[in-house]
Amino acid sequence: MGQNPHYQLFIDGARSEGSTGQVMTTDNPATGDEWATFACAAPADVERAISAARRVLDEPKWRDMTQTQRGKLLYRLADLIEENADHIGRVETTDSGKLLAETVGQTRYVADYYRYYAGLADKVEGAVLPIDKPDMHVFTKREPIGVVVAIVPWNAQMFLTATKLGPALAAGCSVVLKASEIAPAPMFEFACLCERAGFPPGVVSVITGDAENCAIPLTRHPDVDRIAFTGGPDTARHVVRNSAENFAVTTLELGGKSPILVFEDADLDGAANGLIAGNFGASGQSCVAGSRGLIHRPVFEELVQKIADKAAQIRVGDPLVADTHVGPLCTTAQITRIEETLATAVAQGARIRFGGAPLDQPGNYMAPTLVECSDLETETLKVEMFGPVMSLIPFDTEEEAIAIANGTPFGLGSGVFTQNLARAHRVSSRIKAGICWINTYRAVSPIAPFGGVNQSGYGREAGIEAVQDYTRTKTIWISTSDEPMANPFVMR
């Protein structure tokens, strides 16, 4: 890409350095070399972004824009995303290590999320109420909830931004997008597209920075009305505590240890592909990674061998190369965490069936790994490693499989592979998770709600109801009587 790029904050329609001059670097995970720098926000910059977002809500250019006009801006943004998918994908791959095919494909697909919400922008409706009082006309209308803080992690930035920004803008809100301080470059490229689409200054700002200087003042700010957060449970607890300062409506999409249940009647080739996709897709760096493979004992060895055979064909390498299957992990810290977790699991009696170590080459490369777990206390069954590690454990009965699946504080994704339709309905209804895929895995759509239960968070993103989550209902009472309002101190 030539000289290393430098990215500035995007606040109120303008680019600037942070007020303290703090700059951070970002490395290319495929090489370990620094490739870009970016400005970091300080509390004064957070104040500028929130003030702009609050101001624009009262300015005619955004406040009085019709819902149909807002939809047209979203359609324009969707077209720009699609047109620039190759460039944004290449930036994201260089910054995060995700496969180029995935980043480009995902960027193109999220254009449809913005189109979906563009179409819903003028479908946000109120209702006339059949009130129980004579001479009263009462109706409701939905108004923008206000200033939204959207916090996204690095692992699926364009997708996780779309599920927040799309409905928020369709509803007429203003948004301060806080990108991760790890690999934020694609979000600053995306800011350019928001500007080109024609959104008024202040409607969308993009900033990044550390917790103390950026995230904490952002989530505590008294002018914030709504927080949409995707990340880990530990950080989420801080976000919830901070939101007590402003009573912002908060939704959380957190991590998971998603189970994939494979029954003896399943198509084993399809199940093996599902487990591979669920664990090694995106190098395992997915909140819905199906990192716990629960396999019916009669087919356990056969299926594990199929998975191992497929894993042996995986090409790990440069994410910019077209025939690479698994790229590097985003940070060296992930490699360390995986190594430590695997060591603990082996000490507990787990057996490494494939892989199990980083690759001996520059970059953050981890071999796809299969771990046969000796019991339910094995460390790899508990820790979200965010890497290409699949834990496999046999079960004997349907009841046991459901109990193991639900034996976690998380509850985001889940999968069931079976040819028995009754079993598919029965088991999926009892798994405690926000999503259950049957004979497939990791499918998403703007039409389908996405979110979890328990320590995987609360609230839902995507789907038709998401727009309403960025509105507040106002009730309006109109007296239709020709008589003046009665004296309230004269009882009839």
Active site residues: 253
In 115-168, where do the E strands start and end? 127-129, 136-144, 147-151
DSSP strand pairing (136-144 vs 127-129): antiparallel
Amino acid found at 200: P
- Listed residue (118, 38, 115, 121) closest to 81, CA to CA: 115
Question: In whole angstroms, what is the distance from residue 314 CA to residue 402 CA?
Answer: 31
Question: In whole angstroms, what is the distance from residue 67 CA to residue 63 CA?
Answer: 10
Summarize the chain as % helix, strand, coil (round to 5): 40, 20, 40
DSSP for 428-454 reads: HHHS-SS--EES--S---TTS-B--SG
Which structure tokens are listed for 188? 């600053």
Where would I find the H helices in 172-263?
Answer: 185-197, 216-220, 233-243
Alpha-carbon distances of 337 from 33, 232, 385, 464, 482, rounded to whole Å:
21, 15, 7, 38, 74
**Contact by Cβ (8 Å): 233, 455:** yes
| Residue in this structure with the two tokens 């324009």, named with its chain if needed | 76
Question: In whole angstroms, what is the distance from residue 222 CA to residue 39 CA?
Answer: 25
- Listed residue (440, 327, 336, 452) closest to 383, CA to CA: 336
Cα within 13 Å of Cα(383), Cβ side: 18
Strand partners, 14: 11
Burial degree of 62 (CB within 10 A; 0-12, 13-18, 19+): buried
Q: What are phi and psi of 237, to 5 degrees?
A: -60, -40
Work out the widest C-alpha separation in the chain, in whole angstroms. 89
The angle, 0 to 180 degrees and rounded to 10, between the axes of the packed helices 157-171 and 85-96 is 130
Question: In whole angstroms, what is the distance from residue 436 CA to residue 427 CA?
Answer: 10
Question: Which DSSP category does 57 fall into?
Answer: T
